[in-house]
Amino acid sequence: MSGPRPVVISGPSGAGKSTLLKKLLKDYKGVFGFSVSHTTRDPRPGEVDGKDYHFTNRKAMQEDIDKGEFIETDEFSGNLYGTSKSAVQDVRAKGLICILDVDIAGVRHIKETNLDPIYISIQPPSIEVLEERLRGRATETEEKIQSRLEEARTDMEECNEPGLFDIVIVNSDLDEAYEKLQSVLKEFEKNVISVMSR
Ligand SMILES: Nc1ncnc2c1ncn2[C@@H]1O[C@H](COP(=O)(O)OP(=O)(O)OP(=O)(O)O)[C@@H](O)[C@H]1O
Ligand SMILES: Nc1nc2c(ncn2[C@@H]2O[C@H](COP(=O)(O)O)[C@@H](O)[C@H]2O)c(=O)[nH]1
């Protein structure tokens, strides 16, 4: 694919990916665009269909998967998630750098495609802090918190696997993590340095 390299952001649920991405997308309007994933989970209060996710059901999503409309999909904590080809194309058609937020299985699936993105993992400082953040967000049932923590343990172990990520950013202090994210993007996306530095 031509154009600037997309950016894949991954990391445990609750590590702070959306918080960092929302800030980046707001601060760099006209530079980055978000690939809106599909999911079968219910919307959280404040989430907007078509902006945060394309909220769907399993039958409809499976039909679209069978038609070959997805780059990658994964089952995460009891729900299906996936990146459609059109989600990425829509962003790229606008000339924006496409940002994808996917779990670690999604990272592995994308590695088998020709997308050729930059891979960034956002990690929490510890599983205890992650649990506090997930509980503090107050969006999950106890059962879902436990399932997300289980997925997180695997993610935290696997994120340092050689060659899997270009960079792992530990999100302890939000401002520091955001600084690091910006500097990593400026380094990798040399063609947009001037735009980002304005
Ligand atoms: N550095 C930080 N310090 C303290 N709290 C943080 C920090 N970063 C994020 N948070 C808070 O942690 C919670 C989880 O953050 P966020 O929703 O961005 O995580 P996420 O990685 O996008 O999770 P998910 O994958 O489930 O969407 C939010 O309530 C957010 O405000
Ligand atoms: N493989 C994919 N994973 C995705 C996609 N969109 C989001 N995600 C990941 O799901 C979990 C949970 O997200 P939440 O919004 O329910 O908290 C998180 O790790 C996301 O990164 C996708 O299209 N493909």
Active site residue 108: no
Task: Tell me the C-alpha distance between 7 and 24, whole Å.
Answer: 12
The structure's pTM equals 0.96
- Ligand 2 centre to CA of 127 (Å) is 18
The domain made up of 7-189 is a member of CATH 3.40.50.300? yes
Q: Which of 5, 44, 92, 135 is catalytic?
A: 44
The ligand with the least distance to the CA atom of 169 is: 1
Active site residue 153: no
DSSP E strands in the chain: the ranges are: 7-10, 32-34, 38-39, 54-55, 70-76, 79-84, 97-101, 118-123, 167-170
pLDDT in tens for each of the 198 residues of the chain?
567 899 999 999 999 999 999 999 999 999 999 999 999 999 999 999 999 999 999 999 999 999 999 999 999 999 999 999 999 999 999 999 999 999 999 999 999 999 999 999 999 999 999 999 999 999 999 999 999 999 999 999 999 999 999 999 999 999 999 999 999 999 987 766 556 655
